[in-house]
C-alpha cells in the first residue's frame, strides 16, 4: 500500500468518526431540548396543583395542642402533616362539616385533609376536619362556622381548621382550632346558640378566644402573621388570651399585643383612636343611569397613624367585604359600587402595622334609574293662535325630579305638581317643559303657541 493510499484511508476514518460524533451530538441536543420542554410543562402542571400563594408554614399537632413549627416548601407544595393525638377525624365520607367557605374573591384554593392536590374553591364549599384553605394574590375568602361566627382571610393567607375534642360536651360548646399564616379577621359570637371557644395557632404563639370571657359573649379581632414570623393580635371587641414562651397576656377591647418569633407576648397597648368620618354623609343616596358613580370617601387625619384601613361591605357586620384597602391618604375615590345598600368604616394604622379602633359605621345607597321620570303637562290649548300675553303652564311629575320650563324652574312646585306663568311674545312661541331625575334621565313635552301681533 502506497503512502497516498494510507493517507486516504486515514482521512476516510477521520470523516467517519466526525460523522458519528456529529450525529450523536445532534441527537443529544434534541434529547436535551425535549427534556427541557417536558420539564417546563411538568412544572407548570405542578404549579397549578400546588400553588405558592402563602409563605410556607406547616403545623404539627403534639399532645393535644397545636405547636407551630417553621416549615419550608418542599417540591412545590406545603407540608401540613399532623401527628395523631388520639382524636382522629372521621374521613369515611360521613363526617360532619366543620365550616363552610361562604364567600370568595379571585383565586382561592383548598386541600382536603388526606389529599395532596390543591383545587380551585367555590362559594358554598363544605370544610371538614383538617381541611386547608389558601388565598393567592389579591384574593380573599370568608370561612363561616355559622351565620354569627366567621373568619375573613386576606390575600396570601393559609388557614387549617379542625374541631376540638371528640366529646358531645365539647361539640356543644363549638370549640375549634384554626392554624393561621397571613392576615385573618374574625367575629365570634356565643350569645345566640352557646359558648364558642376558638384557638388560633400562630408561628410564634397561641391565641385563645372564649366568648365566656366577654360580657356580651362577642369578640372581634384581627391576627397578622408578619414575614419574619412574628405576629400581632388586635382585639376590637371582647377579650382574647395570648400565650407564647411560657407567658400569657389578656388583650381587651381596643388593645393589641405583638409576639416576636422567640419571645413572650408584649404588654397590651391601646390602639389608635378611630378617625372621624367626613364624606359620604350617613344615609347618602347616589344615583346613576349607565355607569356607577364615583364616590369620594374621606375622613379626618390621625397624626399618629401611618396608614388607614378602609372597608366597604353590604352588611353592617362587614362579612364579605366589597373593598378592604390600606391607604396612605385620608381620601379615596371609588367608582365601582353598583346598585345596592353599602356600609363603610375606617381605622387608623400605626407605624408598626397595628390597626386602630374602627370608626362609626355609615350607610350609603346606590340607586340605578333607567326609566325617565313621569311627566304630564297641561298646556292652555293645543297649537294655535292666542290673544293672552301670559299663560299658565301646569303639570305633574315625580316629586324628586327637577322641572324646567324654557330653562327656568317653575314658580310653584309641590308634591302634587307644578305651575308657572309664562309670558308670550308676539308671534310664534316654543314652550319646552323638561323633567330631569337624579340620574340625568329626561322626559319632555313641547308646544308651539302663537300670539297675535
pLDDT at 26 (0 to 100): 61
Name the architecture of domain 277-368.
Sandwich (2.60)
CA-based angle 299:303:308, to the nearest 5?
A: 50
How far, in Å, CA of 428 to CA of 180, rounded? 79
pLDDT at 84 (0 to 100): 37
Residues 6+ apart with CB under 8 A from 115: none
Q: Which three cell numbers stand for residue 176?
A: 375549634
Residue 86 burial (C-beta neighbours within 10 Å; 0-12, 13-18, 19+): exposed
Residue 255 burial (C-beta neighbours within 10 Å; 0-12, 13-18, 19+): buried
Which one, of 280, 297, 306, 300, lies nearest residue 331 by Cα? 297
pLDDT at 1 (0 to 100): 57
**Cα 63 to the center of its chain, rounded Å:** 36
How far, in Å, CA of 18 to CA of 390, rounded? 111
pTM for this model (two decimals): 0.64
pLDDT at 402 (0 to 100): 93
Residue 115 burial (C-beta neighbours within 10 Å; 0-12, 13-18, 19+): exposed
CATH number at 375-451: 2.60.40.10
Enumerate residue ranges in the chain where pLDDT < 70: 1-31, 35, 38-95, 165-174, 192-194, 381-384
Residues 6+ apart with CB under 8 A from 124: 100, 101, 102
Q: Which three cell numbers stand for residue 4?
A: 497516498
- Tally of helices (H runs) and strands (E runs) in the chain: 2, 37
pLDDT at 319 (0 to 100): 73
* Whether the Cβ atoms of residue 87 and residue 114 lie closer than 8 Å to each other: no
How many CB atoms sit inside 10 A of residue 416's CB? 9
How far, in Å, CA of 309 to CA of 272, rounded? 12
Residues 6+ apart with CB under 8 A from 399: 415
Query: Does 370 sit behind a cis peptide bond, omega within 30 degrees of 0 on the bond before it?
Result: no
C-alpha distances (whole Å) from 200 to each of 66, 78, 144 are 9, 19, 15
Which one, of 413, 271, 294, 273, lies nearest residue 352 by Cα? 271
Q: Which residues face 224 on adjacent strands?
A: 183, 232
Q: Which residues face 150 on adjacent strands?
A: 144, 187
pLDDT at 122 (0 to 100): 94
Which one, of 206, 205, 208, 184, lies nearest residue 196 by Cα? 208
How far, in Å, CA of 313 to CA of 324, rounded? 9
The single residue listed with the C-alpha cell 388565598 is 135
Element (H, E) at 196: none
The single residue listed with the C-alpha cell 375606617 is 346
Q: Which CATH class is domain 57-270?
A: mainly beta
Quick: pLDDT tens for 406-436: 999 998 898 879 999 999 998 999 999 999 9
SS3 272: coil
**Cα 131 to the center of its chain, rounded Å:** 21
Q: Which three cell numbers stand for residue 248?
A: 400569657
Strands (E), 226-267: 231-237, 240-244, 247-251, 255-259
How far, in Å, CA of 206 to CA of 238, rounded? 17
Read off the DSSP letter of residue 72: -
How many CB atoms sit inside 10 A of residue 364's CB? 21
Sign of dihedral through CA atoms 419, 424, 428, 432?
negative
Establish how many alpha carbons lie within 13 A of residue 124's alpha carbon, considering only the half-sphere containing its beta carbon. Answer: 0
pLDDT at 23 (0 to 100): 61
Which one, of 272, 276, 275, 230, lies nearest residue 255 by Cα? 272
Residues 6+ apart with CB under 8 A from 353: 224, 226, 232
The single residue listed with the C-alpha cell 361566627 is 149
pLDDT at 60 (0 to 100): 31
pLDDT at 342 (0 to 100): 97
How many CB atoms sit inside 10 A of residue 301's CB? 12
Amino acid at each position: 500500500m502506497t503512502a497516498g493510499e494510507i493517507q486516504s484511508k486515514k482521512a476516510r476514518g477521520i470523516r467517519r468518526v466526525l460523522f458519528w460524533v456529529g450525529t450523536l451530538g445532534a441527537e443529544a441536543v434534541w434529547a436535551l431540548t425535549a427534556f427541557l420542554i417536558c420539564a417546563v410543562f411538568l412544572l407548570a402542571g405542578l404549579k397549578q396543583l400546588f400553588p405558592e400563594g402563602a409563605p410556607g408554614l406547616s403545623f404539627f399537632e403534639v399532645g393535644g395542642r397545636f405547636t407551630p413549627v417553621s416549615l419550608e416548601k418542599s417540591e412545590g407544595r406545603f407540608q401540613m402533616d399532623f401527628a395523631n393525638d388520639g382524636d382522629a377525624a372521621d374521613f369515611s365520607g360521613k363526617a360532619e362539616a366543620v365550616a363552610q367557605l361562604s364567600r370568595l374573591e379571585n383565586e382561592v384554593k383548598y386541600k382536603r385533609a388526606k389529599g395532596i392536590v390543591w383545587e380551585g374553591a367555590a362559594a358554598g364549599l363544605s370544610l371538614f376536619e383538617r381541611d386547608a384553605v389558601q388565598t393567592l394574590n389579591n384574593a380573599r375568602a370568608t370561612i363561616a362556622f355559622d351565620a354569627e361566627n366567621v373568619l375573613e382571610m386576606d390575600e396570601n393567607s393559609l388557614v387549617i381548621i379542625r374541631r376540638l375534642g371528640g366529646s358531645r360536651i365539647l361539640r356543644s360548646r363549638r370549640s375549634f382550632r384554626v392554624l393561621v399564616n397571613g392576615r385573618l379577621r374574625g367575629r365570634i359570637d356565643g350569645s345566640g346558640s352557646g359558648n364558642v371557644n376558638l384557638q388560633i395557632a400562630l408561628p410564634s404563639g397561641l391565641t385563645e378566644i372564649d366568648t365566656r370571657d366577654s360580657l356580651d359573649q362577642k369578640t372581634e379581632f384581627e391576627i397578622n402573621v408578619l414575614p419574619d414570623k412574628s405576629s400581632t393580635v388586635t382585639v376590637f371587641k371582647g377579650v382574647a388570651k395570648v400565650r407564647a414562651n411560657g407567658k400569657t397576656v389578656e388583650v381587651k377591647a381596643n388593645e393589641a399585643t405583638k409576639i416576636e418569633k422567640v419571645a413572650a407576648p408584649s404588654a397590651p397597648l391601646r390602639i389608635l383612636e378611630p378617625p372621624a368620618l367626613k364624606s359620604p354623609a350617613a344615609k347618602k343616596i347616589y344615583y346613576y343611569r349607565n355607569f356607577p358613580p364615583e364616590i369620594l370617601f374621606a375622613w379626618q387625619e390621625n397624626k399618629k397613624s401611618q396608614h388607614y384601613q378602609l372597608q366597604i361591605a353590604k352588611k353592617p357586620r362587614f362579612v364579605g367585604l366589597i373593598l378592604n384597602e390600606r391607604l396612605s391618604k385620608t381620601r379615596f375615590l371609588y367608582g365601582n359600587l353598583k346598585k345596592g345598600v353599602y356600609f363603610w368604616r375606617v381605622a387608623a394604622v400605626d407605624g408598626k402595622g397595628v390597626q386602630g379602633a374602627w370608626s362609626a359605621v355609615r350607610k350609603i345607597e346606590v340607586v340605578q334609574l333607567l326609566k325617565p321620570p313621569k311627566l304630564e303637562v297641561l298646556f292652555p290649548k293645543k297649537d294655535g293662535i292666542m290673544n293672552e300675553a301670559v299663560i299658565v303652564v301646569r303639570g305633574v311629575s315625580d316629586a324628586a325630579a327637577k322641572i324646567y320650563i324654557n330653562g327656568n324652574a317653575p314658580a310653584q312646585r309641590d308634591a302634587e305638581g307644578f305651575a308657572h306663568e309664562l309670558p308670550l311674545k308676539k308671534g310664534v312661541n316654543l314652550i319646552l317643559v323638561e323633567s330631569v331625575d337624579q340620574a340625568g334621565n329626561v322626559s319632555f313635552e313641547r308646544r308651539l303657541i302663537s300670539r297675535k301681533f
